[in-house]
Structure 1
Amino acid sequence: MKVLLINPPDTASKYKFIGLVAPPLGISYIAAVLEENGIDVRIIDGSALEMTWKELEKDIQKYSPDIIAVTALTPTIIQALKTARIAKSVCPDAYIVLGGYHPTFTHNELLKNEFIDIIVCGEGEYTMLELAEAIENGGDLREVKGIATREFRTPPRPIIKDLDELPFPARHLLPMDKYKILNIKLPTGTLISGRGCPHHCSFCSSSAMHGHKLRSRSSKNVVDEMEHLIDVHNSKMIAFMDDTFTMNRKKVEEVCNDIKERDLDVYWGCTARVDTLSTKILEQMRDAGCITLFLGVESGDQQNLDNLNKNVTIDRIKTTFELTKKLGVRTIASAVLGMPGDTRQSIEKTINFVKTLNPSYAIFSLATPYPGTDFYMNASKQNLIRVDDWSKYTLLTPVLETVDCSLDELKELQRKAFRNFYLRPDYIIRQAWTDGFIIIKTVAAIIRDVGR
């Protein structure tokens, strides 16, 4: 049994405009579980390798696998389908499998493509293992939980309760020297410390995939992986890719204490909610090497925040950003423009609000309803969606109008937001003293990609 896992080439990642090419942790976890159970597995990260379609075709044919599994997000589903079509043409006897966020919630639509045999729905580690074993041993695929085919869909697979039982991602199968942040290749590692989120933000597809209950790895298991990244992959910077790393404060404190006890020489960054941070926890994180926080501001209008089910206040957002500046922790503020209920006035209010917060960096995304989210279901019911081309769902292209903004006007407001934030003289001077050439590269990339 030979299994090939593919991250499609030419990926239209939603993070492309900030120059982030990160290891695909999902298929890396799957590969690790398959390897642990004696299955021959390989990974092709076509995006990181910047492969041509012809190169991909040759690599698939050369390996000649029994199962070819392709991962996909919403903006990458077109590339995933092209990958699957190529795979079926060169390996007609192989099972072609799709998995990831988008296939999980759109399996009925995707299975209309004859070159796709199976969709893995939800968390894929043990589903792929059981699927591979069933195919190898001639078992009944109807007994494999968490899959869909044209003939049947099996019951959902229960979520993995104990994440410590998973092996570390199979990074030895990845081109670790090809990943980058801000378009700069750095010895950077990525990891997750948990899955699921108890909050109900209407636009979040992650909680729809992993559930609304937070499942945390033990602090020892997390720091063991950090040490592995440092010792084996020479990581100097580690990014936690959790939806909200700071959700479980006790675990954060334990991780910080363990980092200091082991005297790990590493900087790290993470995602956080403004209402999970305090002076005490921020000081502990800073002293353990945390230098950057990704914070979801979303809107400068309280009514919009309430509509998004964020459960935070404008005042709390202000207080948290003041605290991060006081403690010397860099911030990336993320705002979303063009949600239902947004007006030109409220969008301008959000743009100005982010400027007053004065974060280290800012990202202004356009409202994008991803399948599986409440946002998508509500927008569909209200007939708000104006673009049905999934490749446009990158956070850079408007796909729905607001009450007083057309698609073109929303795009122009996004350009204005980036220009007004990054091209302020005082901002450029301040960043030049700290980040130097990094900020120049970042600004150039953002203005270029948003302007398209």
Structure 2
Amino acid sequence: MSSLYKTNVDLLLIIPPSRIKHTIYPPYGAMYIASALRQKGYTPMILNVDTERINNQGVIERVRQINPKYIGFSGIVAPSYKYIKDLSREIKQAFPNKIQILGGGLTSAVEPVLQHTAINIVVHGEGEIAIVELMDCLKSNKDLNSISGITFKNEFSNVHTDKRETIKDLDSLPYPAFDLIDISEYLPDGIEFIRKFTTKIDKRIYNSKRKRKMITIPTSRGCFGICSFCFRANRGIRVHSMKYVFDFIEYCIEKFDVGFFTFGDECFAPNKKRNWDFIEEYKRRNLDIIFRILGMRVDTVDKDILKAYKEIGCWMIEYGFESGNQKMLNIIDKRVTVEQNRQVAILTKEAAIYTSPALVLGMPGETNKTIRESIDFLKSLNFNFKQYQMTYALPIPGSPLYDFSRLTGIVKDEDEYLSSLDGDTGRAGNFHVNLTDESDEVVAKWVTTIRDEMDEYYLYRKYKIKLLIKIMLPLQKIYINYKKKHLWVILKNKIKNLFNSRLKNVKKGDIQGIYPRFKKPVNINIEELLDGLDYSKINIEMSLKKINEKLLLKIGS
């Protein structure tokens, strides 16, 4: 076995692989941690397995060569729990004396993490201040109880220290350590990226002077929403000042030669004033960028705001519509109405800004009826072909949905459940957990039902004449058999094959591919818990958090 190579790295931050391919969102969590450490004289390093895709043995060899004093993991729940569990154990075996630290969203699963992985210390919430204090503490061999916002193993149990306050002034943080990652991996071609979404492209993007690369940046932390399927360590939203935001934009333009931006916040604007402040500062700086906004709420925009955004270069806004049924919006605790969602979607379309409604399927309380209303909602928007998204709800530790899963017995063994998650779990078409009163077979078909109905709606109504001409002319055999067979059925199949829009039929016997490993017990009935509540308007008494309170009373009795 080769000897350790001496370096001066204090903390090696490992970024686990996410999905089949890494996202375009840089690992800002680790990058901000690294900048905070540098500011206080420490030497961090980032090993980005998400882009490098080296195996565990390759990581072990890197650790051997770098020989950091400590090892950190930046973990998100879905794809990283099993990876961190396996890799941390291998690191422990190879380097038994190295302390391993975990930060990121996975810290919400602190108990199974400390029980089943080789992680020694968990840093909760924001880590920029905590990590510096922790490094100082470890360096001087002081008591870990003096560090707030962490959980650590001792000889007998897990020790939870006091909760750490959030960082009040986000502008006080240094810029993220871009030099510690290969930023080129996160700078896609802006024009090609837009073309993946829409063919109705603003002519401004073709300006010969425009730089073609796109970068994703944050402008805030958190969200004032409290959606039932979401987890965040700290409630509420804190925003960078407009000066900081636009200084950062100009910094990225100059440093990375970019002309396209994605603002990748959970909640881009907590109110309409924030939107107007952004628009006015953009104009004052006389910028010329093409951008999209993620995480906008429908109750923070109006017709004038959308028009102004279009004028300054916004091509896309993403909203969290979630469902076309008010009962489901209430259970999610969205605190908006279906009609609000519909009107903002239409206003966004009228402003010539692209948006793709995203549905969350299979939350507790979902039925064939609520799915039908979501389909009707999508149809009422009259958007373009395939202009929508959907995913099955997935319980994440720290969320009311996860609490529901634990209370109902859907998730009995946390280690088993978390180990079953990976980068593809929860994507459209992947049904992993049945949280509803409906059968597995019914829930499994919802994605197919929505896709088939929406395909029919767009292809047979909006594009009917165009497609009939396109398909009828070359298909002489269909024309010859016109009177012998059902032409409509034939055309339907040909059209769906042409657009590659049909999923494979759900097969009753395909247990591994269709049926979930985790499901709600039949003795827990969601509709009984909602009995007597008004579905027709915003009603916070229907939120999953309130349902959980009823479940606790039911279990206690």
Offset of residue 119 of structure 1: 0.9
The residue aligned with 2:174 is 167
**1: CA distance between counterparts of 2:176 and 2:501?**
30
- 2:308 is the counterpart of 1:300: no
Which is further off, 414-423 or 135-144?
A: 414-423
User: 1:338–1:347: 8 Å Cα contact kept in structure 2?
Assistant: no
User: 1:301–1:346: 8 Å Cα contact kept in structure 2?
Assistant: yes
Go from structure 1 to structure 2 and tell me whether the alpha carbon gap of 1:420 and 1:31 turns closer, same or farther (over 3 Å shift): farther
- 2:70 is the counterpart of 1:89: no
The residue aligned with 2:5 is none
Name the aligned partner's letter for residue 351 of structure 2.
Answer: L
The residue aligned with 1:250 is 273
**2: CA distance between counterparts of 1:313 and 1:182?**
37
Go from structure 1 to structure 2 and tell me whether the alpha carbon gap of 1:140 and 1:54 turns closer, same or farther (over 3 Å shift): same
**1: CA distance between counterparts of 2:247 and 2:314?**
17
Offset of residue 390 of structure 1: 4.3
Offset of residue 427 of structure 1: 8.1
- 2:419 is the counterpart of 1:412: no
TM-score, structure 1 length as denominator?
0.86
**2: CA distance between counterparts of 1:446 and 1:63?**
50
TM-score, structure 2 length as denominator?
0.71
Go from structure 1 to structure 2 and tell me whether the alpha carbon gap of 1:444 and 1:192 turns closer, same or farther (over 3 Å shift): farther
The residue aligned with 2:10 is 2
Among candidates 218, 221, 232, match of residue 195 of structure 1: 221
Aligned-residue identity in percent: 28
**2: CA distance between counterparts of 1:286 and 1:110?**
45
Name the aligned partner's letter for residue 170 of structure 2.
Answer: L
Go from structure 1 to structure 2 and tell me whether the alpha carbon gap of 1:239 and 1:4 turns closer, same or farther (over 3 Å shift): same
Q: Map of 1:32-431 to 2, 5 A cutoff?
A: 32-75=35-78, 76-103=80-107, 105-113=108-116, 115-151=118-154, 152-179=159-186, 187-206=213-232, 209-211=233-235, 213-270=236-293, 271-359=295-383, 361-385=387-411, 388-392=417-421, 394-396=425-427, 397=430, 398-406=432-440, 408-418=441-451, 420-421=453-454, 424-425=458-459
Q: Point out where structure 2 has 5 or more consecutive residues left out of the alignment.
A: 1-8, 194-211, 468-498, 507-512, 515-557
User: 1:334–1:363: 8 Å Cα contact kept in structure 2?
Assistant: yes
Residue by residue, what CA displacement relative to the aligned partner does 1:73-125 show, whole Å, maximum 9, x if unpaired?
1112111222322333343332101111122x221221113622111111111
Name the aligned partner's letter for residue 247 of structure 2.
Answer: D
User: 2:189–2:214: 8 Å Cα contact kept in structure 1?
Assistant: no
**1: CA distance between counterparts of 2:501 and 2:106?**
27
Offset of residue 149 of structure 1: 1.0
User: 2:60–2:91: 8 Å Cα contact kept in structure 1?
Assistant: yes
Name the aligned partner's letter for residue 171 of structure 1.
Answer: F
User: 1:385–1:399: 8 Å Cα contact kept in structure 2?
Assistant: no
Offset of residue 159 of structure 1: 0.7
User: 1:146–1:155: 8 Å Cα contact kept in structure 2?
Assistant: yes
Go from structure 1 to structure 2 and tell me whether the alpha carbon gap of 1:422 and 1:267 turns closer, same or farther (over 3 Å shift): farther
Go from structure 1 to structure 2 and tell me whether the alpha carbon gap of 1:34 and 1:427 turns closer, same or farther (over 3 Å shift): farther
**2: CA distance between counterparts of 1:8 and 1:199?**
28
User: 1:22–1:180: 8 Å Cα contact kept in structure 2?
Assistant: no
Offset of residue 368 of structure 1: 1.1
**1: CA distance between counterparts of 2:399 and 2:31?**
25
User: 2:70–2:98: 8 Å Cα contact kept in structure 1?
Assistant: yes
Go from structure 1 to structure 2 and tell me whether the alpha carbon gap of 1:289 and 1:108 turns closer, same or farther (over 3 Å shift): same
User: 2:26–2:216: 8 Å Cα contact kept in structure 1?
Assistant: yes
Please state whether the residue corresponding to 2:35 is helix, strand or coil: helix
Offset of residue 316 of structure 1: 1.0
Please state whether the residue corresponding to 2:356 is helix, strand or coil: strand
Name the aligned partner's letter for residue 235 of structure 1.
Answer: V
Offset of residue 359 of structure 1: 4.7
**What is the number of equivalent residue pairs in this alignment?**
429
Please state whether the residue corresponding to 1:370 is helix, strand or coil: coil
User: 1:21–1:48: 8 Å Cα contact kept in structure 2?
Assistant: no
Q: Map of 1:434-445 to 2, 5 A cutoff?
A: none
**1: CA distance between counterparts of 2:455 and 2:55?**
34
The residue aligned with 1:438 is none
Offset of residue 420 of structure 1: 4.8
Residue by residue, what CA displacement relative to the aligned partner does 1:151-203 show, whole Å, maximum 9, x if unpaired?
22211111111111111211121111113679978833222222232232211
**2: CA distance between counterparts of 1:12 and 1:390?**
15
Please state whether the residue corresponding to 1:214 is helix, strand or coil: strand
Offset of residue 136 of structure 1: 1.9
Name the aligned partner's letter for residue 193 of structure 1.
Answer: T
Larger Rg: 2
Offset of residue 388 of structure 1: 2.0
Offset of residue 38 of structure 1: 1.5
User: 1:298–1:335: 8 Å Cα contact kept in structure 2?
Assistant: yes
User: 2:360–2:392: 8 Å Cα contact kept in structure 1?
Assistant: yes
Which is further off, 154-163 or 192-201?
A: 192-201
User: 1:218–1:251: 8 Å Cα contact kept in structure 2?
Assistant: no
**2: CA distance between counterparts of 1:419 and 1:179?**
34
Please state whether the residue corresponding to 2:115 is helix, strand or coil: coil
Offset of residue 305 of structure 1: 0.9
Q: Point out where structure 1 has 5 or more consecutive residues left out of the alignment.
A: 431-442
Please state whether the residue corresponding to 1:339 is helix, strand or coil: coil
Go from structure 1 to structure 2 and tell me whether the alpha carbon gap of 1:427 and 1:239 turns closer, same or farther (over 3 Å shift): farther
Name the aligned partner's letter for residue 198 of structure 1.
Answer: F
**2: CA distance between counterparts of 1:93 and 1:23?**
31
Go from structure 1 to structure 2 and tell me whether the alpha carbon gap of 1:54 and 1:346 turns closer, same or farther (over 3 Å shift): same
Go from structure 1 to structure 2 and tell me whether the alpha carbon gap of 1:329 and 1:307 turns closer, same or farther (over 3 Å shift): same
Which is further off, 184-193 or 316-325?
A: 184-193
**1: CA distance between counterparts of 2:261 and 2:312?**
12
**2: CA distance between counterparts of 1:194 and 1:402?**
34
Which is further off, 114-123 or 419-428?
A: 419-428
**2: CA distance between counterparts of 1:249 and 1:6?**
38
